[in-house]
Amino acid sequence: MKRITYISRPCQAMSDSEIQAISDFCHLRNRENQITGVLLYFCGLFFQTIEGDDEKIDQLFTKIRQDRRHNDVLCLKMET
């Protein structure tokens, strides 16, 4: 099992409904892949912790880093 905690900045201002849509989508997709975690948005930053199978977490974090909706992705902690 692997856990990654990171922060990032959205590329543009986001409405509450846009943030909720991202959260809802992540929840469904992560559930399908047996990934758990939390996604927070506060003071213009995303904060997320994801955990699950090592390979699935590595794949997800690669997608997160490539997602053009945010930048400045900074891994705060990685645990196995």
Q: Along the 80 residues of the chain, how does pLDDT read in single tens digits? A: 999 999 999 999 889 999 999 999 999 999 999 999 999 999 999 999 999 999 999 999 999 999 998 899 999 999 99
pLDDT of residue 5: 98
Q: Which pTM was predicted? A: 0.91
Report the C-alpha gap between 74 and 80 in whole angstroms.
Answer: 18
pLDDT of residue 65: 95
The type of residue at 72 is: D
Please enumerate in sequence order all residues whose Cβ is within 8 A of that of 2, keeping only pairs 6 or more positions apart, or say none: 51, 52, 53, 54, 57, 58, 78, 79, 80
Report the C-alpha gap between 14 and 21 in whole angstroms.
Answer: 11
Q: Running DSSP on this structure, what letter comes out for residue 45?
A: E
pLDDT of residue 18: 92
